[in-house]
Structure 1
Amino acid sequence: MDLATARQRLEEMLAELDRSIGVLRGDPAGSREFSAADAGAGLTDADRARAMITAATAQRAAVLEAIARLDEGVYGRCADCGGAVPEGRLEARPEAARCVPCQGRRERRR
C-alpha cells in the first residue's frame, strides 16, 4: 500500500473511532426513564459500553502511532525487528506496528 493511501485509511479510521467513542460516551438512553427492572440491564449495558470504549481507545492510540510512524518515515517497518511488515498485513490492519512473527511473540508474552 502506498503511503498516501495508508495515511488516508488511517485518518478515516481515526475519524470513525472518534465518532464511535463519542457515541459510546454519550447517554444512549436519552431522556427515557428506567424502571427498577431496567437497572440491571443498564448496568450490563454500561459495562459493555466501557469495554467498547477501552477497546476503541486502544485502537485509536495504535492509529495515532501509525500516523506518527508515517510522519517519521518508518511506517511499514516492524517496531521490534526492523523488518518489513507484509503488505497484506498492512492492508488488513493499517495500524499494525509489527510483523506477524514479532506480534505473535508479543501476544504470547501477555
Structure 2
Amino acid sequence: MTRTPSTSVASNQTGTVTPAAARRAAARRRAKLDLSALVVGADESSWTDEEMDEVLADLGRQRERITRVIADLEHEIAGLMKDAGDGAGHDQADVGATTLERDHDITLVSTERGLLEQIDRALEHIDEGTYGVCDSCGGAIGKMRLMAFPRATLCMSCKQREERR
C-alpha cells in the first residue's frame, strides 16, 4: 500500500486531482515555506516563488498522471484475474498470454507506485524544509537538478556512485 503524506494534493470525489485543487494545495504548501532556507548548490541563487511553483506544479501533474495510470492498470489486472478461469475455450496459449499480460501489468503497477512514493517523498521534503538535501551525504542536490528532476533525492556524485554498484 502506498503511504500518502498528510499534506497530499487535494482530490475530487472520484479520487482524481483537479487542476484547481492542485494549484490550491501548491499555494498552501509554498505559503508555509521559507524559500531562502532551502539548500541550493554553492553557485546557485535561492529558490524564487516562481521556481518553486513550477516544481510543485510539475510534481502535482506527475502525481495525478501516475495515480491515473495505477488505477487503470489495477482495473485491468482485476479484469485479467476475473477472466482467468472463465470460459471453456481457454487453451494453454490463451492462459499463458493472459498470465504474461497480468505479470507485465503487475510489474508496471509496482514501478508506478515507486514513482508515486518518490513524488510523495519530495513533497514531504518540501513541507519539512529539507528539499534539496541529499539523502545520502547531506550535501546540496542542486536547484538546477531539482528543477529538471523534482523527485531527486541524491546529489549527482551520490547518484553516480549508486549507479556504479
1:35 and 2:35 correspond: no
Structure 1 residues not aligned, in runs of 5+ = none
In our comparison, the structure showing a higher alpha carbon Rg is: 2
TM-aligned CA deviation for residue 108 of structure 1: 4.1
Distance 1:41 1:19 in 2: 25
What is the TM-score of this pair, normalised by structure 2? 0.57
Cα RMSD for the two superposed structures:
2.4
Distance 1:88 1:50 in 2: 34
1:21 and 2:70 correspond: yes
Identity of matched residues, %: 28
Distance 1:8 1:17 in 2: 14
TM-aligned CA deviation for residue 86 of structure 1: 3.0
Which residue, 99, 105, 108 being the options, matches 2:155? 99
Structure 2 residues not aligned, in runs of 5+ = 1-46
Which residue, 91, 101, 108 being the options, matches 1:52? 108
1:45 aligned partner, one-letter code? E
TM-aligned CA deviation for residue 101 of structure 1: 1.2
What is the TM-score of this pair, normalised by structure 1? 0.82
1:105 aligned partner, one-letter code? R
Deviation string 1:17-64 (CA, Å, 9 cap, x unpaired) is 110000110137689867323211111101100110111111110100
1:63 and 2:119 correspond: yes
* Equivalent pair of 1:7/1:70 in contact (CA under 8 Å): no
Which residue, 57, 61, 71 being the options, matches 1:8? 57
Find the residue that maps to 1:27 and give its secondary structure: helix
Which structure shows the higher helix fraction? 1
